[in-house]
Structure 1
Amino acid sequence: MTKQFPGGLFAGRRWTSLRLRLLVVFALVALTAAVSASGIAYWLNREAVLTRTQDAALGDFRQEMQNRAAALPADPTPEELQRTAELMAGSSPGYSVLLVDELKDGRKVFGAAGPDSFGLADVPKSLQNAVNDRQKTTAANDAEYHMYWQRTKPRGNPYLVGGTRIVGGGPTGYMYKSLAQERDDLNALGWSLTIATGLALLGSALLAQAAARTVLKPVQRLGDAARRLGEGELDHRLEVSGTDELADLSHTFNKTAEALEKKVADMSAREESSRRFVADMSHELRTPLTALTAVAEVLEEEVDDLDPMIAPAVALVVSETRRLNDLVENLMEVTRFDAGTARLVLDDVDVADQVTACIDARAWLDAVELDAERGIVVRLDPRRLDVILANLIGNALKHGGSPVRVSVRVEGEWLLIAVKDNGPGIPEEVLPHVFDRFYKASASRPKSDGSGLGLSIAMENAHIHGGDITAANGSEGGALFTLRLPVDVGKVIAGEA
């Protein structure tokens, strides 16, 4: 029998089941938490950075529009607009400025300055419309024009575009600030958060491995202990440490193992006692049975000279004495099998001759048809083969009826002997029990003088050879018993040893 130990198949199964699931669960929890935390942190920092930059630039631009653009004359020249734009663009936030004014003749004059090339085409139409939209003044709205802003990405670069115009007449001003520095800072933050997420995932894997080892080590010890218990080491116990659930489980296992050991010991003692009782009883019965058998044989020889009223009683005594003798012999044979003392005496046997001898010794030649080729020689115990054949053929004649057909063939390394009777067959509910000891199917065997041990002894003899017997119903009716034995029992026994 192949055994699996902790380093082999079972360890692989543990790795692909509970350990892997723990690692995956820890990793998913850590990944979800890290990604969520990183995403929230990135979003909050992004909004904070952009809002701070935006508010600073727009606030400074509003102030510059009030201080410088509002001070321009009603119809400023292009030079005045340009000089004012340069002064506004020189403020600390560092943005470009575009001033637009419309002359009386409808022409537009521009003034632009700053680090970026900035024209009216760079201002989104929606923002231009919002800036030039004149609103009614109310108690809640005291200005006709307001400042509006928008984030754009011309040519893939982020910019903040804002605009407003002077209330009461004056130029319209637009500011254009690059957000490239903020983008780079946010990208660096994103990479930092990504690295932190990876480190958190790695840390979670290490923690999961440690947790799995802590949890699975007691489970592994419990599995090994249960395996050893199943292999017969009933005295094996677990060392209990701690007060957690696994310690309680270990306590329960030890109590169960102790109870199982005690129960098995009690059952073994009772079984041994019963086996010894049967052996002793059978042995003690042999002496009086020998005397009874001798007397019965003498009476059987004199039965023709006895009173006709006494003769049937004498015949009954002779018959029952023989039956009792067979029962005692069978009981002793069963006891030897149970005690493991049954041994094989191997010899080269011609199967056809052996089957013929078995049939001839019991005067069954007229009731049995033999289909066996001469020259099929196998190595087995001839006495035990005779016991098997006598039980199978005798059972077929007694319960199935003649003619009984016995066929012999060899398939590979196996000898197959089939015994088929001509009876009604075996009921389906009886088939699983035909080899049980003392089993008699009353429906199919209304009257039987057998002990119920014959087929059981036949099966035990087949097992000791390394073979078996199967029972079934033939396709054309009748019961079919098939004996399967190794051609060379000696090799099989040597291989098992």
Structure 2
Amino acid sequence: MTQPQGGLRGWSAARRGRLSRLRLTSLRLRLVVVFGAVALTAAVSASGIAYWLNREAVLTRTQGAVLRDFEQEMQNRAGSLPEHPSQDELQHTAGQMANSSQRFSVLLVGEDADGKTVFGNSGGLNGFALEDVPESLRTAVNRQQDVTDGNKSPYHLYWQRVVTHGTPYLVAGTKVIGGGPTGYMRKSLEPEAKDLNSLAWSLGIATGLALIGAALLAQAAGTTVLKPVHRLGVAARELGEGRFDTRLQVSGTDELADLSRTFNRAAESLEKRVADMAARDDASRRFVADMSHELRTPLTAITAVTEVLEEELDAESGSIDPMIEPAVRLVVSETRRLNNLVENLMEVTRFDAGTARLVLDDVDVADQITHCIDARAWLDAVDLDAERGIHALLDPRRLDVILANLIGNALKHGGSPVRVSVSAADDAVVISVRDHGPGIPEEVLPHVFDRFYKASASRPRSEGSGLGLSIALENAHIHGGEITAANSPEGGAVFTLRLPRGVLEEPDQDGEEADGTVRSVPSGRPAQPGPSAQPVQSVQSGKDKGEVS
């Protein structure tokens, strides 16, 4: 019976462990991601700054050298041309200028003596042409500026970087001071672009290596930081599972060490408190058990005397004085109630101590219910709807206790007739007990199985012990079953008992099942009601719609 519950607890603990490991993995992942993001940001920023600085340095150095060379060639060679040069002169001078140390293409534009625009370039017909010069650059080159103290020349050298057919170029232009041709220069920047691309690849590889290094560092840091956290989580789970002697090994003086010390102090305090509570609980149980046991001896004698008095009350001789007859009847009633209370207390003590055992038998459920009703003379008040032949492997005495409490409770606190119905599934048998009373108040429903619970403080005393439904529920639990209480939509309260049918196994030679459960030899007839199944007085459940005892 307890194995499925233990399995469920084990499954829950394993599931919690997996979820905790997932959380730790997630925390580790977040740590790696944070380290990686910081490293990536730093590496990208550093690489971007380095690339930008190197790019500007390379381009500025190349550009400065080319422009200085071009400007010098314009002054020395183009400046020596006549004001109206011919096309051949322009072509020859452009070729000479292109042979400078920087090796750029040259285009010279001028007017001949007839006022016609002539061109000369360093590459022949397919060389550098005026169409290759951006319009904005041509406009700036031909714009004449005012000569002032701050501006000594009406024309300046202008340059612009352009990309043609995927190739970067530096294009520059200027006019000869004092009259002469206009010169344009084009220098390919492809070597510099390749160098910059190589630099970008190098910086990208360095960034990737930095990112990998950061991930490895984060992994190492995560292992160092999260291992104590994981140990703390494992210890907390063990503590939650009841292993109060769990302690953490403390090393170091950091915050995690302080947390481990705090956990150890809390676990030690909790272990002491639980031990004290367990000791007080054991003492309370021993007290109840001892008290119940000590009460049985005088109660046996008192019960014998009350039985004699009860016989005298029922006798026709009238030997008892009518003046004391009410007192005698009260003594008889209260003695019976006290005897039932002691029996119930002893049964509860056995459940609390874990010493209650099942004696299983192959039970015909319908026959068992019929016998329970017949033994207590409830045949006229109970309507039974059950087919014979529904068998289950149950403890007949404990089943009788459950039925006596549920049916007696319905008769006493509900309304007749009480209907008992039985249905069977593949793995369980369901017994429903319904009365025709006003039902159970909603605020009382969660407490109907509590011990000694009373819904009305104005009626603290009742004939029952207040333990009937609690004992019934414990007997259901020991079978691996359950009892639920609810209100029927058609009126009245419904108590539903669900018990596993079990599998009847052949006993071994010792008369015990394979799992150690003691089992009686099937007798084919219902068991007699046991001492804990006393009828009316021990089944007070509080289903009285205003009182639960």
Name the SS of the counterpart of 2:165 in structure 1. Answer: helix
The Cα of 1:179 is off from its aligned counterpart by: 0.5
Residue 286 in 1 paired to residue 296 in 2? yes
Q: Is the 1:465–1:489 Cα contact (8 Å) retained in structure 2?
A: no
Deviations 1:292-321, CA, capped at 9 Å, x for gaps = 000000111112421111111111101100
Match of 1:253 among 240, 263, 266: 263
Q: Is the 2:24–2:230 Cα contact (8 Å) retained in structure 1?
A: no
Matches within 5 A, 1:84-95: 84-95=93-104
Change (3 A) 1:7 1:23: farther
Judge which range, 273-282 or 405-414, deviates more: 405-414
In 1, Cα distance between equivalents of 2:401 and 2:323: 37
The Cα of 1:444 is off from its aligned counterpart by: 11
Change (3 A) 1:7 1:366: closer
In 2, Cα distance between equivalents of 1:496 and 1:20: 49
Name the SS of the counterpart of 1:306 in structure 2. Answer: coil
Judge which range, 43-52 or 2-11, deviates more: 2-11
The Cα of 1:53 is off from its aligned counterpart by: 0.8
Instruction: Give the counterpart letter for 1:422 in structure 2.
Output: H
Match of 2:219 among 209, 223, 227: 209
Match of 1:482 among 479, 496, 508: 496
In structure 2, the residue matched to 1:442 is: 456
Matches within 5 A, 1:274-423: 274-303=284-313, 304-423=318-437
Structure 2 unaligned spans of 5+:
1-6, 506-512, 518-549
The alignment covers a number of residue pairs equal to: 496
Q: Is the 2:87–2:118 Cα contact (8 Å) retained in structure 1?
A: yes
Instruction: Give the counterpart letter for 2:255 in structure 1.
Output: E
Residue 159 in 1 paired to residue 173 in 2? no
Residue 455 in 1 paired to residue 465 in 2? no
Residue 112 in 1 paired to residue 90 in 2? no
In 2, Cα distance between equivalents of 1:494 and 1:242: 53
The Cα of 1:49 is off from its aligned counterpart by: 1.0
Deviations 1:227-264, CA, capped at 9 Å, x for gaps = 11112111010001111111111111111111110011
Name the SS of the counterpart of 2:170 in structure 1. Answer: strand
Residue 100 in 1 paired to residue 109 in 2? yes
Instruction: Give the counterpart letter for 1:176 in structure 2.
Output: R
Name the SS of the counterpart of 2:96 in structure 1. Answer: helix
In structure 1, the residue matched to 2:140 is: 130
Change (3 A) 1:133 1:96: same
Q: Is the 2:79–2:180 Cα contact (8 Å) retained in structure 1?
A: yes
In structure 2, the residue matched to 1:47 is: 56
In structure 2, the residue matched to 1:72 is: 81
Q: Is the 2:288–2:349 Cα contact (8 Å) retained in structure 1?
A: yes
Residue 223 in 1 paired to residue 237 in 2? no
Name the SS of the counterpart of 1:192 in structure 2. Answer: helix
In structure 2, the residue matched to 1:147 is: 157
TM-score by length of 1: 0.95
Judge which range, 395-404 or 322-331, deviates more: 395-404
Deviations 1:442-490, CA, capped at 9 Å, x for gaps = 2897863111100000000000011010000111111110111111276
Matches within 5 A, 1:15-54: 16-54=25-63
Change (3 A) 1:377 1:74: closer
Name the SS of the counterpart of 1:101 in structure 2. Answer: strand
Structure 1 unaligned spans of 5+:
none
In 2, Cα distance between equivalents of 1:300 and 1:387: 26
Q: Is the 1:68–1:84 Cα contact (8 Å) retained in structure 2?
A: yes
Change (3 A) 1:397 1:347: same
Change (3 A) 1:180 1:223: same
Q: Is the 2:383–2:418 Cα contact (8 Å) retained in structure 1?
A: yes
Q: Is the 1:95–1:114 Cα contact (8 Å) retained in structure 2?
A: no
In 2, Cα distance between equivalents of 1:129 and 1:233: 90
Q: Is the 1:6–1:224 Cα contact (8 Å) retained in structure 2?
A: no
The Cα of 1:108 is off from its aligned counterpart by: 2.3
Instruction: Give the counterpart letter for 1:222 in structure 2.
Output: L
Instruction: Give the counterpart letter for 2:200 in structure 1.
Output: G
Q: Is the 1:337–1:460 Cα contact (8 Å) retained in structure 2?
A: yes
Q: Is the 2:372–2:404 Cα contact (8 Å) retained in structure 1?
A: yes
Name the SS of the counterpart of 1:305 in structure 2. Answer: coil
Residue 121 in 1 paired to residue 135 in 2? no
Name the SS of the counterpart of 1:356 in structure 2. Answer: helix
Judge which range, 146-155 or 424-433, deviates more: 146-155
Q: Is the 1:98–1:118 Cα contact (8 Å) retained in structure 2?
A: yes
> RCO greater where, 1 or 2, for CA within 8 Å and sep 6 or more?
2
In 1, Cα distance between equivalents of 2:171 and 2:239: 80
In 1, Cα distance between equivalents of 2:198 and 2:415: 97
Deviations 1:393-434, CA, capped at 9 Å, x for gaps = 111111113211111111221111111112111100000000
In 2, Cα distance between equivalents of 1:43 and 1:273: 82
In 2, Cα distance between equivalents of 1:472 and 1:495: 35
In 1, Cα distance between equivalents of 2:458 and 2:114: 127
In 2, Cα distance between equivalents of 1:203 and 1:192: 16
Deviations 1:145-197, CA, capped at 9 Å, x for gaps = 11111111222211111111111111111111110111111111111111111
In 1, Cα distance between equivalents of 2:457 and 2:288: 29
Match of 1:63 among 65, 72, 85: 72
In 2, Cα distance between equivalents of 1:212 and 1:190: 32
In 1, Cα distance between equivalents of 2:359 and 2:15: 41
TM-score by length of 2: 0.86
In 2, Cα distance between equivalents of 1:350 and 1:80: 128
Change (3 A) 1:12 1:339: closer
